[in-house]
């Protein structure tokens, strides 16, 4: 295992009386896919939301390349090099793929003006977005059409590609294939492999054990807010162990 | 350039079945294009029919009349359009405009400096807009309907109070009367005001980061927050912009009437919302451009003018505008339906 790029230590999160995370910790390394597994309510999404700045941790630390960082907002997470592909994709249906890629992080000028009043560098954003789409071999019906006109798989691919534009260290994907058919899932899995090959640490939340066996280098299992196990190189022979950990039948 | 990009991403030779699906998808695409071009087509057809059937409709004088009549609706509708883009609504525009004209008239009693009087009207409009935005956002109201309904009442009441029982407060600086009531080369000056505001809104919406954020907030507010867009500031500034447009509308109207009045702008909220929706913008937010607001405003102006020329009574005009709003909203629903079908077809065609 290479040096961790992301490390979470002793993470606790409470929502009123509900103790959603109870001292969870894990590491993610460059060039590997870490599967985060668990039944519904295990704390996977809460953990990911804490890492991506949607919620703040009540206790515990997040370290990026060994340095403690305070992640209290999504912008702070992205500033630290953590990109997230949310389960609902967080796409803007009324914008084009290129506009979606840069929404909230528009390339603009002149720099001396407040950000909101600057002019959009549309040509540069379009050409850079087209280059990423090309690099990831995403097939879209029209590059200048609104995302609303695209299929589930294409939208998923756009959301992953958006993360790829800015991914510098960590890419988190929350159930990226949950709503997709076989063919579209395959394309998204290929994209995930490509993000890994480009040197990112990829954290994959999924319920699909086939995908875990195919892609994951390690799997961390959560149950009722606790980390209950970790398996190196998940494969068909230890798949049953993983399932047992998930459901609590060890 | 766009064609190249498109060709690049379409890629591959489709199978026979995929070909049929793509054909169907392109049929849907044509239907969608027709639907979005609908308001312009309807406006052109309307103009042709009225020119052929209504005496004195297509004369320079009447066209100039229409342009002057729609100026206030068009300017205020441009601000309303930005608010509707954010999934909001501004019901206070009419009352805001009336209050601005009253404050302008009061300021005229203190000074005849046109710039100070105009500044007062613009400031009054923007201030009411700021109240709308701030209370909506920081008061955590579920919908702007409530606060803008409240400011409608407050601003109208304030305008009546400040005018001390006068329904008309006569007098405006010459510059303002020239802007609102004068003409240049036979074209009303107020029309140039509309063009200037439209150009400003066009630049904001198309080329400025703030404009992109307005579309993003209207498209998907939660995603906008997660993507780091300052949603609260975008909403407050958008309501302020709508208020500022009311201030511009107040300058035009008080200039044309050479007076301020607490009764101005009655049902202006209906006209401006109707203009935006009739023009083809989506009531669900995030979709539309200034062309929609302008086409809608012209359509309302043309229909009113033609019905006047035909001596149709005012009540029927209200009914006609209402019916057209229903048709426009239905076409928005139809467009959303076609888009969902298009998505399914795209998935089938591209695999």
Q: Using 50, 70 and 90 to split pLDDT, how confident is the model at B175?
A: very high
**Given this model, what pLDDT does residue B163 score?**
92
Look at B215 and A92 and tell me if their CB atoms are within 8 Å: yes
CB pairs under 8 A between A and B: 123
pLDDT tens-place string over residues B260-305:
999 999 989 999 998 998 887 888 888 888 888 899 999 888 888 8
3-state DSSP call for residue B297? helix
Look at B346 and A143 and tell me if their CB atoms are within 8 Å: no
More confident residue, A245 or A92: A92
Q: Using 50, 70 and 90 to split pLDDT, how confident is the model at B5?
A: very low
**Given this model, what pLDDT does residue A120 score?**
96
ipTM, two decimals, is 0.84
Residue whose token pair is 């975008």: B234
Q: What φ, ψ does residue A100 adopt, rounded to 5°?
A: -65, -45
- Report the mean per-residue pLDDT for chain B: 87
8 Å CB contact between A166 and A78: yes
Torsion of CA A99, B8, A167, A43, to 10 degrees: 80
- A184 inside 8 A of chain B by CB: yes
Q: Residue A182 domain-assigned?
A: yes
More confident residue, A179 or A131: A131
Considering chain A, what percentage of its residues have pLDDT values greater than 70? 98
Strands A170-174 and A82-85: parallel
pLDDT tens-place string over residues B16-44:
445 555 566 677 777 777 777 777 888 88
Q: Kindly tell me if the per-residue pLDDT of B161 is higher than 80.
A: yes
Look at A92 and B212 and tell me if their CB atoms are within 8 Å: no
The Cα B96–Cα B242 span in angstroms is 10
- A107 inside 8 A of chain B by CB: no
Q: For chain B, what are the domain ranges?
A: 42-332
Q: Residue A12 domain-assigned?
A: yes
What one-character DSSP code corresponds to residue A103?
A: T
Interface of B with A in 328-347 (CB under 8 A): 339, 342-344, 346-347
Most A CBs within 10 Å, among B2, B228, B231, to test the A interface: B228
- A91 inside 8 A of chain B by CB: yes
**Given this model, what pLDDT does residue B261 score?**
96
Look at A152 and B344 and tell me if their CB atoms are within 8 Å: no
Look at A151 and B223 and tell me if their CB atoms are within 8 Å: no
Structurally, at CATH architecture level, domain B42-332 sits in: Orthogonal Bundle (1.10)
Q: Looking at the 3D structure of chain A, how many domains does it have?
A: 1
pLDDT tens-place string over residues A81-97:
999 998 888 899 889 99
**Given this model, what pLDDT does residue B23 score?**
61
pLDDT tens-place string over residues B83-97:
999 999 999 999 999
Q: Which helix (H) or strand (E) element contains residue B280?
A: none
Host domain of residue A200: 4-94+154-247
- Most confident of the following: A83-92, B55-64, B252-261, B329-338: B252-261
The domain spanning residue A28 has which CATH number?
A: 3.40.50.300
**Given this model, what pLDDT does residue B348 score?**
59
- B10 inside 8 A of chain A by CB: yes
- A114 inside 8 A of chain B by CB: no
**Given this model, what pLDDT does residue B40 score?**
83
């Amino acid at each position: 295992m290479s040096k961790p790029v992301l490390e979470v230590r002793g993470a606790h999160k409470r929502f009123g009386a509900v103790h959603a995370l109870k001292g969870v910790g894990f590491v993610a390394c460059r060039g590997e896919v870490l599967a985060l597994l668990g039944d519904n309510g295990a704390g996977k999404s809460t953990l990911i939301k804490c890492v991506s700045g949607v919620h703040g941790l009540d206790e515990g630390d997040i370290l990026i390349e060994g340095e403690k960082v305070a992640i209290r907002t999504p912008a702070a997470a992205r500033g630290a090099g953590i990109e997230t592909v949310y389960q609902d994709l967080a796409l803007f249906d009324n914008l084009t793929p290129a506009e979606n890629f840069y929404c909230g992080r528009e390339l603009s000028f002149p720099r001396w003006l407040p950000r909101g009043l600057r002019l959009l560098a549309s040509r540069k954003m379009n050409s850079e977005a087209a280059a990423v789409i090309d690099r990831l071999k995403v097939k879209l019906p029209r590059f200048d059409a609104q995302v609303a006109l695209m299929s589930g798989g294409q939208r998923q691919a756009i959301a992953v590609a958006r993360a790829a534009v800015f991914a510098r260290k960590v890419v988190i994907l929350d159930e990226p294939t949950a709503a997709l058919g076989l063919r579209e899932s395959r394309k998204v899995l290929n994209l995930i492999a490509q993000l890994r090959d480009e040197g990112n640490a990829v954290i994959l939340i999924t319920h699909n054990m086939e995908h875990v066996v195919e892609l994951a280098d390690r799997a961390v299992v959560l149950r009722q807010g606790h980390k209950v196990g970790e398996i190196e190189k998940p494969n068909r022979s230890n798949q049953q162990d993983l399932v047992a950990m998930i459901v609590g039948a060890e | 350039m766009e064609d190249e990009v498109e060709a690049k991403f379409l890629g591959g030779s489709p199978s026979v079945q995929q070909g049929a699906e793509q054909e169907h998808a392109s049929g849907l695409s044509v239907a969608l294009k027709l639907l979005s071009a609908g308001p312009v087509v309807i406006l052109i057809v309307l103009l042709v029919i009225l020119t052929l059937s209504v005496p004195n409709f297509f004369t320079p004088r009447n066209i100039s009349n229409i342009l002057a009549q729609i100026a206030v609706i068009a300017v205020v509708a441009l601000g309303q359009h930005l608010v509707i883009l954010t999934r909001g609504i501004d019901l206070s525009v009419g009352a805001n405009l009336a209050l601005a004209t009253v404050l302008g008239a009061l300021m005229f009693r203190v000074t005849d400096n046109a710039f100070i009087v105009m500044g007062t009207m613009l400031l009054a409009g923007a201030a009411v807009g700021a109240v709308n935005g701030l209370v909506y956002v920081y008061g955590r109201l579920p919908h702007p309907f409530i606060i803008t309904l409240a400011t409608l009442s407050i601003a109208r009441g304030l305008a009546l109070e400040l005018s001390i029982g006068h329904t008309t407060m006569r007098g405006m600086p010459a510059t303002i009367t020239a802007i609102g009531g004068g003409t240049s080369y036979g074209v009303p000056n107020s029309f140039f005001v509309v063009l200037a505001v439209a150009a400003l809104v066009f630049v904001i919406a198309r080329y400025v980061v703030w404009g992109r954020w307005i579309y993003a907030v209207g498209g998907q507010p939660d995603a906008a927050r997660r993507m780091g867009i300052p949603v609260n500031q975008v909403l407050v500034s958008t309501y302020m912009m709508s208020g500022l447009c009311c201030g511009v509308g107040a300058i035009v109207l008080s200039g044309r009437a050479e007076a301020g009045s607490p009764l101005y702008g009655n049902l202006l909220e209906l006209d401006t919302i109707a203009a935006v929706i009739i023009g083809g913008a989506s009531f669900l937010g995030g979709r539309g451009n200034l062309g929609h607001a302008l086409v809608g405003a012209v359509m309302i102006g043309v229909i009113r003018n033609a019905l006047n020329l035909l001596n149709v009574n005012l009540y029927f005009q209200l009914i006609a505008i209402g019916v057209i709003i229903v048709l426009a909203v239905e076409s928005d629903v139809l467009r959303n339906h076609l888009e969902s079908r298009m998505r399914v077809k795209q998935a089938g065609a591209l695999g």
